Structure 1
Amino acid sequence: MQTFAPTDGREPGALGALLAEIPPEHIALAQEALAEVGDAAGSRTLVALADHLSFAIKRHRRGLQLEYPLQAEVAHLYPDELARARRILAVVNRRLDAQHTPQLPSAEAVPIALHLVNAGFATGDLSLTYTMTGVLGQLFEVVEQTYGRSFDTSDVNAARFITHLRYFFVRARTGRQLHDGQLAFGTAMRTAYPEACACALRLRAVLELRLDHPVSEDEVTYLTMHVARLTTPDRDG
């Protein structure tokens, strides 16, 4: 018997109320799918996935299908999570097929991937992940427009940039932006990579507009560093 305990600051009663609304077989389905693909998920992720699957199954039985507008962004920004989500969905659909229950459409891998992305954060609020995904896509558009070319997000420097931005969102949300006083480093970065610095300032403008919160100078310095690494991979950024 598995015990569920909140790990994100929510009241135990809130988790209990959510669990009470999910059929036990859907909790078991989520647990089996995560286990089969080797995804060691905490209680929060398991419950969130079970809740999503339960609602998706009920919707699908009624012939209701949702369109997910972030499909392109998820595929572009989170290829690893999307690959894992597709494996989870494949396990779920095998179980549903064995139960003579209609299988879920392939598009359901998108919200499952977002739940996996969300698992990496201290917050259980999926709305942050939706907002972050849309803004990340916009930020990459700014970089691509600045340099006049597209970037492969499977590249190690792109992956580092995405990871940095993902955790910037968490820092900004919790009021813990970087304030290391890296004045000399920032000056050196602006001198060595003026185009990357100009791009980072454009990224800052987008972030401040979308998040309605100022972005610190140190955060701009690190944005400059990651843009430089992304756009000049043959040099030591």
Structure 2
Amino acid sequence: MRINKVLNNNVVVVKEGQEEIIVMGSGLAFGKRKNDLINPEKIEKVFVMKDKNEYEKFTQMLNMLPEAHISLAEQIISYAEKKLKASLNEHVHVALADHLSFAIERIKQGFSLHNKLLHEIKALYPAEFEIGKWAVDLVFEKTGVRLPEDEAGHLALHIHTAKMNASTMNEVMNTTVILHELISLIENTLQVKVEEDSISYQRLMTHLNFALKRVVENEPFQDVDPDMHALVKEKYNRSYQTALLLRDHVKDRLEQDLPSSELVYLTLHIQRIDKKERS
């Protein structure tokens, strides 16, 4: 491989045909110029950015952010792809590095942002959250800066949305915010505190997440026998009334209705939580 462009001491661009390939490695480009050969033993990562806008953002970022922060972001991306056994969208190279660098500098200055969606992120994206925790430990090991657990949640969202065919960050954030609101609605209505580590909470979050996805994507819901609906409504009326409030909230936020069958499933989930918290 011959260098087409040196971006910094650790990153170069090479050309294969009409395609520009980004090659990374510690000290890979130190003392190198265009047309010089790359030492293959120094190559740590090779990737293609087909989106020209992302490529331009990445090259600009290399001039703005500390090389150490970019290197950390790339280590996290490589680890995430290995753990998830999936390729991440190319936009993650810019988004994750930018977020990570800002978080490190913010903590150095004594500022920490609370992640109010942390519990929801843990429940919905456990694999990505574990990667986020690994990343927090890596940052501490390499920089001495201890990022809070809240940042593991933010990093988990970046990783989740970067998975191929995943929803956009805005869509994921919107869904997660609605889920947070629904849990708060249950707690305020029933005057209970939902334990985020409980199986009941995990099941409810998973169910609500898939329900919202079906609503947004107009996917069909499973039918429920009318007699079953009537029985659940009568036997667990307190939880059923809470489920109605959740349905109204979803309609307000998404301008779409949950079907009556969902009221049955939500009632059963809510009843399980209400019973556990009051036992």
TM range (shorter): 0.7 to 0.9
> Does residue 95 of structure 2 align to residue 52 of structure 1?
yes
- Larger RCO (CA under 8 A, 6+ residues apart): 1
Q: 2:86 aligns with which of 28, 42, 50?
A: 42
Comparing both structures, which one devotes a greater share of its residues to helix?
A: 1
Task: Give the CA RMSD over aligned residues.
Answer: 3.6
Query: Looking at CA atoms only, which structure, 1 or 2, has the larger radius of gyration?
Result: 2
Which residue of structure 1 lines up, in the alignment, with residue 135 of structure 2? 88
Alpha-carbon offset, residue 119 of structure 1: 6.5
Task: Give a deviation string over 1:131-166, Cα, whole Å, max 9, x none.
Answer: 122212211121112221201011001100001111
- Count of paired positions: 218
Alpha-carbon offset, residue 43 of structure 1: 2.0
Which residue of structure 1 lines up, in the alignment, with residue 31 of structure 2? none
Alpha-carbon offset, residue 189 of structure 1: 1.7
CA gap 1:149/1:172 in 2 versus in 1, 3 angstroms? same
What TM-score, normalized to structure 2? 0.63
Q: What percent of counterpart residues are identical?
A: 19
Alpha-carbon offset, residue 91 of structure 1: 1.5
Comparing both structures, which one devotes a greater share of its residues to strand?
A: 2
Distance 2:100 2:112 in 1: 15
Unaligned ranges ≥5, structure 1: 5-11
Which residue of structure 1 lines up, in the alignment, with residue 39 of structure 2? none
Task: Give a deviation string over 1:96-129, Cα, whole Å, max 9, x none.
Answer: x3xxxx9584353332122355478953311122
Whichever residue aligns with residue 273 of structure 2, its letter is L
Whichever residue aligns with residue 162 of structure 1, its letter is M
Whichever residue aligns with residue 83 of structure 2, its letter is D
Unaligned ranges ≥5, structure 2: 1-44
What TM-score, normalized to structure 1? 0.72
Whether the aligned pair in 2 keeps the contact of 1:22 and 1:54 (CA below 8 Å) is no
Q: 2:57 aligns with which of 12, 21, 43?
A: 21
Alpha-carbon offset, residue 206 of structure 1: 0.7
Whether the aligned pair in 2 keeps the contact of 1:73 and 1:134 (CA below 8 Å) is yes
Question: 78-87 or 188-197: which moved more?
Answer: 78-87
DSSP 3-state at the match of 2:83: coil
> Does residue 117 of structure 2 align to residue 73 of structure 1?
yes
Whether the aligned pair in 2 keeps the contact of 1:132 and 1:166 (CA below 8 Å) is yes
